[in-house]
Chains A and B, each alone.
Chain A
């Protein structure tokens, strides 16, 4: 193979966001298609699925294949790319009749609550109908094809990546409008009779032929950019070839559907589609041996903890070269937040500390109950604040030896607490990592819950909390029928194993939905009555910003500036001022201000606590943005990391605003009062968002990199 040929084949330009979007679209379509198959089976469904997926594949080829890499060098490559974007991908996507599968593939609540009002909005329907009205669609399609090929505009495209993107978007969009009336992918009556689509396509072909002929037969090179690069003769040849590509395959793309349509009109009686209604197929539920998987995960984590401790105590003390400097601070934290975001509290599920405890308990069973006075989160709040301070003040990330001691101390404390006290007292009342995961899992997309409430109503053994011969009951005293949300749930799956009715399982939930209501929760009571939980959320939320701020240049310079003034050994105290000011004084002040404004209009303290809980999503988003950055450092921080971090923070802000609005709605009947109630908390969320953005845009100290 010659050089150009092999270079062309190797010139794939994989654009991660485009690829991700195409894959997500394909997955949603596939999910919707599979759901549709359960109810109605159409004999054409398989071909529609194939068409839609092929359309996405063609889009991928147009945007990420060598065609894209070569479009600035060869007009013919660029023309092929346009052909795929206009004449191949859009019809294939529309043949897939994507509306129903995509709607079915999305979560039902989102379709009903989010899209429903828009789908039923008459004004919007009128606008969309006008856009796909055949004369309009034909005109914008042909006009965009001709206008973008005018030398002035085309040269602009070659000089500016922004206009290049705009051109591609314009081609794709107008092509969707053009092919819409031809394929008629939406249910409902066509705007024009079927036969009118034949002249519609033929006239489009005439315009295409005229433009192609101009490329082929024009003596001049139309685009100087190509002439500069290739020389006059080669550029003219390339231009003629581009014209042929536009002419021949382009014409085929218009004429074939016109012919098929004509034939189908003539044979309409014979070709009438038959719909076969088949009974729904019952899907067998995939049952994973989850409790066994938990033991495996715990054993792996225990092994990892032992390796980290050994390397931390006896290995090199250069953090990036030591497992104690890399595994816990870079991989474990990043993967934990990703797991929280994608599934739920997987870290607690695989917790190595509880495995050691379980083994020890088989030898010496615990005798005492956790003291009544300590049955709250205050100990964990203090420990979480202490952890945030020690992390900054003693640079835990940079000291494998200290890291090993922290892990050893964790094992020791877990064994000590749970060696004396029954239940999972350490997890429930002491462990700061567990509390962080409990709060963060409020925004997770799943929880352990009951499948059918009716089954629990007939249950008289309550094995999920009492346990039985096969499995112990919930050690955190969460009674499944009264459990709401992920708070205090360690995902230990004891209840799943214990339930004799197979009625407890991992179930998908809407992220943060448990914050919207305030029911009585097993072992927790009403969250709105818990000061300790509100304090925990505040430390976790404000701690996210303080912890991330510690790694940016300006804050670090500020700390060292004060250290230079006050003395070398004062850094831990300066950091203490920053951390405790950030996680105690600042939230206290913010809550006093926002809560005070709420109290002025007659709200109760319970409602204020609910607003505090509503801040959890933005706090988690900040942790996520920060820790995912660290996770990426060993692989090279991608150029789109800041974009991703801002998007994560955007999502956190929107979720917090939504929960705040729902809480306000439950405390007011009129819009004006709702707004008055929510305003201080929305303002606080926006301030936190602004601080987060400022932190993300600062130069990072590349600490903890391996």
Chain B
């Protein structure tokens, strides 16, 4: 039982960090892919990562300047420089962006050192922010679950006491 509780706790934390592919497009001599950390995307802070490869042989390009810009009707443009150091995967260029809900047009501009400039375009839909109950439900569930387990614990204790009393009384 003890180990199962532990394993449950560990398993609950087995969160993966796979990016979700949002765009894969050929732009000039390059293949540009855009990933997001979450799916679906929601308003607030979002982590985007960009993979740049040569179109000819698929080799990863890791020495270019990458910029992401997001546009939406009636909203100021959001421009971010994507950096290698910000990503867990050092082959990708990462950029955190604060985006509101709605449909955003984005442009990924890539300027490799000594290479030709390339741009990829796409659209991403950002859903409204989750209500707090939905966003933090596992934490709100802790007290009721703990109370439930405690109730079960007490019930088992009382039951075991009454069983041993019955055995004792014959």
Tell me if B's interface is mostly helix, strand, loop or mixed: mixed
- Encode contact with B along A535-546: 1 for CB under 8 Å, 0 otherwise: 000000000000
Assess whether B2 is in contact with A99, with CB atoms less than 8 Å apart: yes
Assess whether A7 is in contact with B62, with CB atoms less than 8 Å apart: yes
Given the complex, which residues of B lie within 8 Å of A518, measured CB to CB?
none
Q: Does chain A have a CB within 8 A of B16? A: yes
Assess whether A168 is in contact with B6, with CB atoms less than 8 Å apart: no
Report the minimal beta-carbon distance from A110 to chain B, rounded to whole angstroms.
Answer: 10
**1-30 of chain B: CB within 8 A of chain A:** 1-7, 9-21, 24
Report the minimal beta-carbon distance from A101 to chain B, rounded to whole angstroms.
Answer: 10
Closest partner residue, chain A, to B40 (CB atom): A160
Give A658 to B20 CA distance when docked, in angstroms.
43
Assess whether B24 is in contact with A228, with CB atoms less than 8 Å apart: yes
Task: Known A72-B18, A114-B153, A173-B7; judge A657-B62 contact (CB<8 A).
Answer: no
Given the complex, which residues of B lie within 8 Å of A125, measured CB to CB?
1
Q: Does chain A have a CB within 8 A of B146? A: yes
Assess whether B14 is in contact with A118, with CB atoms less than 8 Å apart: no
Give A581 to B142 CA distance when docked, in angstroms.
31
Q: Does chain A have a CB within 8 A of B88? A: yes
Assess whether A11 is in contact with B143, with CB atoms less than 8 Å apart: no
Given the complex, which residues of A lie within 8 Å of B53, measured CB to CB?
229
Given the complex, which residues of A lie within 8 Å of B3, measured CB to CB?
98-99, 102, 185
Task: Known A71-B18, A165-B14, A168-B16; judge A119-B1 contact (CB<8 A).
Answer: yes
Q: Does chain A have a CB within 8 A of B78? A: no
Given the complex, which residues of A lie within 8 Å of B33, measured CB to CB?
228-229
From B4, B17, B62, residue with most partner A Cβ within 10 Å: B17
Task: Known A11-B90, A120-B156, A168-B16; judge A59-B1 contact (CB<8 A).
Answer: no
Q: Does chain B have a CB within 8 A of A689? A: yes
Task: Known A73-B91, A118-B153, A654-B143; judge A103-B2 contact (CB<8 A).
Answer: yes
- Encode contact with B along A579-595: 1 for CB under 8 Å, 0 otherwise: 00000000000000000
**43-64 of chain B: CB within 8 A of chain A:** 45, 51, 53, 58, 60, 62
- Encode contact with A along B88-108: 1 for CB under 8 Å, 0 otherwise: 111100000000000000000
Q: Does chain B have a CB within 8 A of A117? A: yes
Interface band, chain B = 35 or more
Give A10 to B10 CA distance when docked, in angstroms.
25
Given the complex, which residues of B lie within 8 Å of A647, measured CB to CB?
139, 142
Task: Known A102-B6, A169-B14; judge A69-B88 contact (CB<8 A).
Answer: yes
**142-184 of chain A: CB within 8 A of chain B:** 157-161, 164-165, 167-169, 172-173, 176
Task: Known A73-B51, A73-B91, A643-B139; judge A59-B39 contact (CB<8 A).
Answer: no
Stretch touching chain B among A12-20, A355-363, A503-511: A12-20
Closest partner residue, chain B, to A123 (CB atom): B156
Task: Known A4-B91, A169-B11; judge A158-B160 contact (CB<8 A).
Answer: no
Assess whether B15 is in contact with A18, with CB atoms less than 8 Å apart: yes
Given the complex, which residues of B lie within 8 Å of A111, measured CB to CB?
2
Give A650 to B89 CA distance when docked, in angstroms.
35
Given the complex, which residues of B lie within 8 Å of A689, measured CB to CB?
143
Give A228 to B31 CA distance when docked, in angstroms.
10
Assess whether B51 is in contact with A229, with CB atoms less than 8 Å apart: yes
Given the complex, which residues of B lie within 8 Å of A693, measured CB to CB?
132, 140
Assess whether A230 is in contact with B62, with CB atoms less than 8 Å apart: no
Report the minimal beta-carbon distance from A57 to chain B, rounded to whole angstroms.
Answer: 13
Q: Does chain A have a CB within 8 A of B70? A: no
Given the complex, which residues of A lie within 8 Å of B168, measured CB to CB?
none
Give A229 to B26 CA distance when docked, in angstroms.
11
Given the complex, which residues of A lie within 8 Å of B17, measured CB to CB?
13, 15, 68-69, 161
Given the complex, which residues of B lie within 8 Å of A119, measured CB to CB?
1-2
Give A12 to B139 CA distance when docked, in angstroms.
27
**599-622 of chain A: CB within 8 A of chain B:** none
Q: Does chain B have a CB within 8 A of A252? A: no
Assess whether B88 is in contact with A12, with CB atoms less than 8 Å apart: yes
Q: Does chain B have a CB within 8 A of A115? A: yes
Given the complex, which residues of A lie within 8 Å of B1, measured CB to CB?
115, 118-119, 124-125, 128
Given the complex, which residues of B lie within 8 Å of A128, measured CB to CB?
1, 4
Give A406 to B12 CA distance when docked, in angstroms.
47
Across the interface, B89 reaches (CB within 8 A) one of A63, A73, A158, namely A73
Given the complex, which residues of A lie within 8 Å of B132, measured CB to CB?
693, 697
Given the complex, which residues of A lie within 8 Å of B139, measured CB to CB?
643, 646-647, 650
From B6, B38, B89, B150, residue with most partner A Cβ within 10 Å: B89
Report the minimal beta-carbon distance from A402 to chain B, rounded to whole angstroms.
Answer: 35
18 inter-chain pairs at a CB distance below 8 angstroms, sorted by A residue, are A13-B89, A15-B15, A22-B10, A69-B17, A72-B35, A99-B3, A114-B153, A115-B2, A117-B160, A120-B156, A125-B1, A167-B16, A169-B12, A229-B24, A650-B139, A650-B143, A689-B143, A693-B132
Other A-B pairs, 14, CB within 8 Å; known A12-B88, A160-B39, A697-B136 = A21-B9, A63-B14, A68-B16, A69-B90, A70-B91, A85-B14, A102-B3, A115-B2, A176-B7, A229-B53, A642-B136, A653-B143, A657-B143, A657-B147
Residues of B within 8 A of A (CB): 1-7, 9-21, 24, 33, 35, 37-39, 45, 51, 53, 58, 60, 62, 87-91, 132, 136, 139-140, 142-143, 146-147, 150, 152-153, 156-157, 160
List 5 A-B pairs, minimum CB-CB distance, nearest first: A164-B16, A13-B88, A117-B156, A7-B90, A69-B89
